[in-house]
Amino acid sequence: MTNLETKQSREEFIRHIEEHMKQASRKLLKINSRDEIMTVLGESFKELLKCDFVGIGLNLNGYLRLHYLAGDIDIEKIFPYPTDKVNPILYERSIKSDDNYLDPDSVLIQYFKKSGIDSWFTVPIAEDHSDLGIIIVGYYDTRPFFNEMRELFKELGAYAAIAMKTIQRNESSQRQILYFAQASHQLMMQNSIEDLLEKVVTLSGRESRSHYTGVYLLDQAHEALLLQKPTFGYVTLDDYIPLSKGNLLKDYLPRVEQIGYSQITIPLVINEQMVGAMVCEKPAEQIFSGKDFELLQTYANYFSAMYENLSLRRQEKIRRQELEELFNLQNNLIKSSLEQTDIDKMNQLLGEFVERDIIVFDQFLNPYSKYLQKDSSLERDILMKEIKNYKLKHVHLASEFRISVQDTEMVFRRIEGDREALGFIAYSENKVNLNKETFNLAISMALNIYATFFMKYKIERDALNQLKNSFVGTLFSGKPHEELNQIITYASYFNFDIDGSYDVALLAIEDVVPHSDDLVVRRIARNTVMNELIYHLSKFDSKLVTAIYKGRIVLLKARQGEEPGIYWQKLFKTIRKAVNPKIGLWIGIGGQVLELKDYRDRYDKAKHVLNVIQRTGHEPNFASYDELGSYVILNELNQIDETKLFVKSQLGKLWDASVDSSMDLFETLRVYLNNHCSIKASADELFLHRSTMNYRLEKIKEILEIELDDNKHQFNLLLAYHLFDLFGEKLFE
């Protein structure tokens, strides 16, 4: 350096070095490889300082390793050297041979002595507490070093550190991109959500050096987070985490998207909707860095995208399988229907497919066939009780309705044919794995097939009913002997003994939907009730012959067994309980048939009885011709004007006196006559004192101007009351 000092001033030399260092620094920042940085640094020192050797050591994997060497020297023998044994001052500042900062016994000093290196200096490759390496420059002869050079060389080392860190980041990014590309390829190759899950937690846990990594997914009802298996390591959190409305994810899982802690949670999002979360934990002394967060977020995003894709593929596969199974179900149901297979088999096929209890009812909600799952808790008796209660509240059954039975809700769907209810399918409304759309398709398809199945029986039943109607019409024609052959033919179908003795009765019902203007609706509703009554009549007495004839149900009861009066009382009580109490029912009994010619007469008498009990409000709503006596005869007078005149002449004044009076003398006289003119019996029935009863009778005598003790007057008054019962208040208009 003496020659240099003689040629130029010390200041010019320093400026020259400074300018050279600046150029080298700018050049370093443009370099993209670590080896090129080493070459530029080494050549800069060799060219500028004319040194005997330049060596550059870099810290890698716990050792200071020689990465560049220029000059005839064997300094590589002291490398690699443990990083933790390097004197820290070498990374803090530039050191020269005459500084005496290093221990004389240190490896570097001892090497210089043995190798004859007289002058040397070091430059740290360090920046912002990042100790990347050391530059060593040496001479075999003695050379002076200016203190001003320390900062210049240290600055150059800092630039080299910056350039190397930039390259490291680039290389790390490239490795990460390559790794993610490979990982993405691996994830995309997974054919199931389980495989995808295993790959994601393994990659996430391994790359972030987590103690454990697990994925939680929302259940179908979004009521809980469920830990998915497998996991990476053992997840110490609960497998099942119930959720509460209004709470956030941070209320359930630790450190949501927060770095700097040993735990972290990354939300899993699909189409801006959270579907779950990834949770990770490191050992207590370690924390998740920003780099870890980016890594885990990338895997979380990959998982969400692939999870959505696999879920759609799985749903499509399940949907395709369900449609294939639905097609097979349709074929099997149709086959069973065409082969007239027992409907129990059809129920089993449908129940197994929809995974629910299936019960088929007839049009009157009487159980026809059932399929119950093995774990079914449905109790038949309780169900039938609830059905009965429902029918009592609803005259008309809707096309779809629900009935709760303990903890099970049963959905009832009407099986229809030609606008009429042929029956009902009921199924339990429990949660199943079957797709809702597939389930609805299965039920709709079953309703159509069941309708075809039931329609066959309806056609057979209608044909049988038509035969019955023709048979009954022939019996009631009034000319049975002229049509005897036809009667005998019909009777053979129904095991009817034409020589036997039968009671003839008629069952009438009121209009079920009197306010409807749709005649078809009214006819269907009426027929439904009448068919239900026939069903319950057959249950009550399987030998009872029933037929719908001219809007009423004909009842032909063989005269045998218990006394007729008791039989009809039990029959009426049974059917009254069986149908909705809002529907009016009446039975008129025409009497016993001894021979064929009596059928027409007993039919006419039954009609007369119905007319009387419907008009008079007779209680109970059934009676025989013999019981009504004079009422039946009087019923025929309804078209005679003299009837009105007669009633008004006998009771008109008393009616007028009672209309606006608090004292009902009209009813008082009726009670008095019905009790055979007994004052005591009449007073007891009316809850009156005897003196009050006598007072009322005196007032009645004054108004009517007759003697009540006269038998003739008593007969006329009773007759007038009977006619009033038949024709009502219109007689006094």
pLDDT band at 635 (very low <50, low <70, confident <90, very high): low
Share of the chain above pLDDT 90, in %: 12
Indicate the SS3 state at residue 682: helix
The model's pLDDT over 277-332, given as tens digits with 9 standing for 90+, comes to 999 999 888 999 888 898 899 888 888 888 877 777 776 776 677 667 767 777 77
- Tell me, yes or no, if the two domains 7-171 and 339-460 fold the same way: yes
| Mean pLDDT, range 697-707, rounded to an integer | 88
| Position 5 pLDDT exceeds 80 | no
The whole-number pLDDT of residue 175 equals: 52
Cβ atoms of residues 55 and 78 within 8 Å: no
Domain boundaries, the chain: 7-171, 192-314, 339-460, 497-628, 641-731
Are the C-beta atoms of 333 and 349 separated by less than 8 Å? yes
Residue 340 confidence (pLDDT): 56
Question: Token pair of 546, please?
Answer: 């029933």
Burial 607-645 (b: 16+ CB within 10 A, else e): bbbbbbbeebebeebbbbbeebeebbebbeeeeeeebbe
* Contact indicator for 56, 71 with CB cutoff of 8 Å: no
CATH of 192-314, one of 3.30.450.40, 3.30.750.24, 3.10.580.10, 3.40.50.720: 3.30.450.40
Query: For residue 126, what are the β-bridge partners?
Result: 131
Q: What residues contact residue 550 under an 8 Å CB cut-off, 6+ apart?
A: none
Residue among 517, 522, 507 at smallest CA distance from 579: 507
SS3 721: helix
Rounded CA gap, 717 and 719, in Å?
5
**φ, ψ for residue 244 (rounded to 5)?**
-120, 145
Q: How far apart are CA 626 and CA 632, in angstroms?
A: 9
Q: Give me the architecture of the 339-460 domain, per CATH.
A: 2-Layer Sandwich (3.30)
- Backbone dihedral angles phi then psi of residue 274, each to the nearest 5 degrees: -70, 130
CB 537 within 8 A of CB 575: yes
52, 50, 43: which is closest to 138 by C-alpha?
A: 52
Residue 36 φ/ψ, nearest 5 degrees? -65, -35
pLDDT of residue 514: 61
Question: What is the torsion angle, in degrees rounded to the nearest 10, for the CA atoms of residue 333, residue 337, residue 340 and residue 342?
Answer: 40
The DSSP element (H or E) to which 651 belongs, if any, is helix 641-659
Residues 6+ apart with CB under 8 A from 365: 387, 391, 397, 412, 424
For 298, the token pair is 């990338």
Query: What is the biggest distance separating any 2 CA atoms in the chain, rounded to whole angstroms?
Result: 175
For 415-471, the pLDDT digits (tens) are 887 777 888 999 988 766 667 778 888 888 888 888 887 887 778 778 888 888 888
Place of tokens 């209660």: 389
What whole-number distance in Å separates Cα of residue 221 and Cα of residue 244? 12
Closest CA to 505 of 582, 364, 613, 637: 613
Determine contact, residues 326/442, Cβ cutoff 8 Å: yes
- Burial letters 139-158, b for 16+ CB under 10 A, else e: bbeebebeeebbebbbbbbb
Span of 69-83, 682-696, 719-733 with lowest mean pLDDT? 719-733
Pairing state between β 420-428 and 552-558: unpaired
Torsion of the alpha carbons at 202, 206, 207 and 210, rounded to the nearest 10: 110
Ranking 26-35, 49-58, 92-101, 178-187 by mean pLDDT, the lowest is: 178-187
Structural tokens at position 497: 């003994």
Q: Going along 551-671, which residue ranges are E strands? A: 552-558, 585-593, 622-624
**Can you read off the two tokens belonging to residue 6?**
């003689």
Q: At 7, is the pLDDT very low, low, confident or very high (cuts 50, 70, 90)?
A: very low
Bridge partners, 586 (sequence order):
508
For residue 565, give both structure tokens. Answer: 């009066």
Look at residues 295, 63, 259 and name the one whose alpha carbon lies nearest to residue 180. 295
Least confident of 39-48, 517-526, 642-651: 517-526
* Residue 440 identity (one-letter amino acid): N
Here the tokens at position 202 are 């393994």
- pLDDT over threshold 60, residue 25: yes
Superfamily of domain 641-731: PucR C-terminal helix-turn-helix domain (1.10.10.2840)
Q: Is the peptide bond before 242 cis (omega within 30 degrees of 0)?
A: no
**Identity (one letter) of the amino acid at 582?**
K
Question: Distance between CA atoms of 547 and 599, rounded to whole angstroms?
Answer: 14
Q: 488-510, pLDDT tens digit by residue? A: 777 777 778 888 889 999 999 88
* Contact residues for 318 (Cβ-Cβ < 8 A; gap 6+): 435
Smallest Cα–Cα separation from 373: which of 361, 390, 355, 394? 355
Helix axes 148-188, 290-338, angle to 10 degrees: 10
Distances (CA, A) of 356 to 199, 322, 363, 411, 485: 37, 16, 22, 11, 54
DSSP states along 64-106: EEEEEEESS--GGGG-SEEGGGS-THHHHS-EETTS--S-TTS
Cα–Cα dist 623/549, whole Å: 20
pLDDT tens track for 140-187:
988 877 677 777 778 877 877 877 777 776 665 555 544 554 544 444
Does the pLDDT at position 276 exceed 50? yes
Contact 504, 496 (CB under 8 A): no
DSSP per residue over 297-339, as a string? HHHHHHHHHHHHHHHHHHHHHHHHHHHHHHHHHHHHHHHHHHT
Q: Is 204 exposed, middle or buried (0-12, 13-18, 19+ CB in 10 A)?
A: buried
**Which architecture characterizes domain 497-628 according to CATH?**
2-Layer Sandwich (3.30)
Sign of the C-alpha dihedral computed for residues 70, 76, 80 and 82 taken in this order: negative
- What the block records as the tokens of 316 is 């499509």
Domain 7-171 has CATH 3.20.10.10: no
Q: Which two tokens stand for residue 23?
A: 């150029």
657-694: pLDDT as tens digits: 887 777 788 888 888 888 888 999 888 888 889 998 89
The pLDDT mean for the chain works out to 81
| pLDDT digit string, tens, across residues 594-617 | 888 888 888 888 888 888 787 777
- What residues have CB less than 8 Å from 715, skipping those under 6 apart? none
CA pseudo-torsion sign 297, 303, 307, 313: positive
Express each pLDDT in 87-143 by its tens digit: 988 888 888 888 888 888 898 889 989 988 998 889 888 887 778 889 999 999 888
Cα–Cα dist 167/184, whole Å: 25
Euclidean distance between CA atoms 293 and 363, whole angstroms: 66
Q: What CA–CA distance (Å, rounded) separates 702 from 428?
A: 73
Of 647, 641, 696, nearest in space to 671 by CA: 696
How far does CA 655 lie from the centroid of its chain?
67
Q: Which of 609, 600, 604, 647 is nearest to 631 (CA)?
A: 609
DSSP 370: E
CA-based angle 401:402:406, to the nearest 5? 165
The CA distances from residue 634 to 99, 247, 629, 640, in Å, are 148, 82, 9, 11
Give pLDDT, residue 633. 60
CA 323, 327, 328, 333: dihedral to nearest 10 degrees?
130
